[in-house]
Amino acid sequence: MTRLSEYLLPTEKEAPADAEAISHRLMVRAGLIRQMGAGMWTWLPAGWRSHQRAVAIIREEMEAIGAQEMLMPVLQPAEPWRRSGRYAIEELFKLTDRKGSELVLAMTHEEAVTTHVAAAVRSYRDLPLILYHVQVKERDEPRPRAGVLRTREFVMTDSYSFDRGAEGLEERYRQHVGAYDRIMERTGLRYYRVEADVGMMGGLGAHEYMAPCAAGENEVALARGYAANVEIASAEPVPVELPPAPPGPQALATPGLTTVSEVADSLQLPEGALLKAYPVVALACPSEGRDGGHAGQGEGGEGGAARGGERARIVLVLVRGDHRVNEIKLANALGFATRPAHPEEIEAAIGPVGYIGPVGVDERIEIVLDAAAAEQAAGGGYVTGANRRDEHLGGVVPGRDFRYRTADVRTVAAGDTVGGEPITIEPAIEVGNIFKLGTRYSEPLGASYLDETGVQRPVWMGSYGIGPARIVAAAVEQFADEHGISWPRALAPFAVHLVAIGKLGTPERERAEELYATLVQGGIDVLYDDRDLGPGEKFADAELLGCPLRITVGKRALESGEAEVQIRRGREQAQGLALAAPAQEQLRVLNELWQSLP
């Protein structure tokens, strides 16, 4: 029984001043969420109903693939995180209790679940196994934003698979792909499943579930038959014509010209005919790997000072002048984290900032040339910095004029191609992610089993996470209009918003009360606006909240014999609901209409 006169739904006419994302603005205005602090949000009753509808869909699909639900604590001892190599992650909340014991607030639960499996699993007969839970996560997010899209505390559904080897992991991964595809389809969201970077999770491969919308912090590269996060996407670049290469590099006077665009304009060349130099400093040794040495924790530290007074290890990265370095792909190619070199480090190791290039640099400096620039170089020469102030070099040929190794370290751009098909770049919200962890956690945390021959082997793992809050916010982003939210029916807090026009004791109010009782008894989720307010305010709140169906009962309905029925998506008027019809007939009509909605 949900009467709006008794329900906590504090709608607002104005959005918060700092709200940029559509979901942030509308979810606050519609009374779904309220903020307590930076990145800390309370879900109010109607918002929580939508959140839990997403959770229910996820639960059903997890159960369908044989996953067993459990619950693991948010507060955990630090030791398993040290053993896994993830304690150094900056976003991990760290604390000590009154006894001085080191603890963490978990941002994911790989360490916890692997510890339990290590203690419980002994034999190959205990595998395969899928465990999942729905739990709060904590993340020391440096820049909370966009309402519930980027927060410091949030709920996630995490599933973990455990297998005897790679073949079993592949099968469990396929099961989760199917489950996640069905989850996304059932929520009504537009989505892409894209190739992704493994990031701090580590492992052998990953995919992300992306919901395209303007508020998305991620970018997805799309072409026919291809979808990948821009962090790892690869494509054939738009070709650029290089000027013919002379027998050797030629000095070019470029006084005061320090940017690619300035030099290209001066020489009347396309920006792609220049090589852009991007010097970086290593933060971790290759042997430490990406999880063993988080940025700021390895060599050079956060401030970049080298150990023992030695000069920082610099890598000179080169891309075409019209391309950008991709930090994720660079870290993957190098095998360790980096930071941009400081101006004084560049001056000391290479040359004046704005004029640096690869020709004649110290042999101790590794040069990484992006694959697109290397492939483009055949038959022509690039313009590069000369490592002297006010001067560049023309006709520079990679391999002839400087040594290098090739790696794909650029960010793809719209117009590049995959298999001859042009790509587009679209912003998107990351709603879920799945990882092939392999033995990334089982080996350091001791999760093993005895196979059929009695040989001890490590358990092979997968990790699969999906965020109900992001599903809800993505739905708001994708389907909102200028009047408010327009829920897909799977996520709507209520199916029907019943609006009574008329004061208590009037015939129209009595008929609205009768219809409300019919809907409730028929099992329909209905929000009944029985407040003593004018029609305009009631309609504005109904459109703002965005329940899929709005039914209005007022004097006009009594005169016509039909309650007005509006479909929220598109604000389309449906066939009126006959007030004199039997209750079962009214419920049948509404159910048929409901089933036709997106």
CA 346 to CA 438: how far, in whole Å?
40
Give ranges for CATH 3.90.960.10 in the chain.
250-411
CATH code that applies to domain 250-411? 3.90.960.10
Give ranges for CATH 3.30.930.10 in the chain.
47-234+425-476
Q: Selecting from 2.30.40.10, 3.40.228.10, 3.40.50.150, 3.30.930.10, what CATH number does the domain 47-234+425-476 have? A: 3.30.930.10
- Give the CATH H-level superfamily of domain 496-596: Anticodon-binding domain (3.40.50.800)
Q: State pTM to two decimals.
A: 0.86
- pLDDT tens, residue order, the chain (598 aa): 699 999 999 999 999 999 999 999 999 999 999 999 999 999 999 999 999 999 999 999 999 999 999 999 999 999 999 999 999 999 999 999 999 999 999 999 999 999 999 999 999 999 999 999 999 999 999 999 999 999 999 999 999 999 999 999 999 999 999 999 999 999 999 999 998 877 655 567 889 999 999 889 899 999 999 999 999 899 999 999 899 999 999 999 999 999 999 999 999 999 999 999 999 998 854 333 333 332 222 323 333 334 334 456 899 999 999 999 999 999 989 988 899 999 999 999 999 999 999 999 999 999 999 999 998 767 789 999 999 999 999 999 999 999 999 999 999 999 999 999 999 999 999 999 999 999 999 999 999 999 999 999 999 999 999 999 999 999 999 999 999 999 999 999 999 999 999 999 999 999 999 999 999 999 999 999 999 999 999 999 999 999 999 999 999 999 999 999 999 999 999 999 999 999 999 999 999 999 999 9
CA 496 to CA 91: how far, in whole Å?
41
CA 527 to CA 308: how far, in whole Å?
68
CA 138 to CA 160: how far, in whole Å?
19
CA 250 to CA 273: how far, in whole Å?
15
Among the listed residues 182, 178, 211, 179, the one whose alpha carbon sits nearest the alpha carbon of residue 194? 211
The residue with tokens 């962890």 is: 437
Tell me how crowded residue 167 is: count the other CB atoms within 10 A of its CB: 9
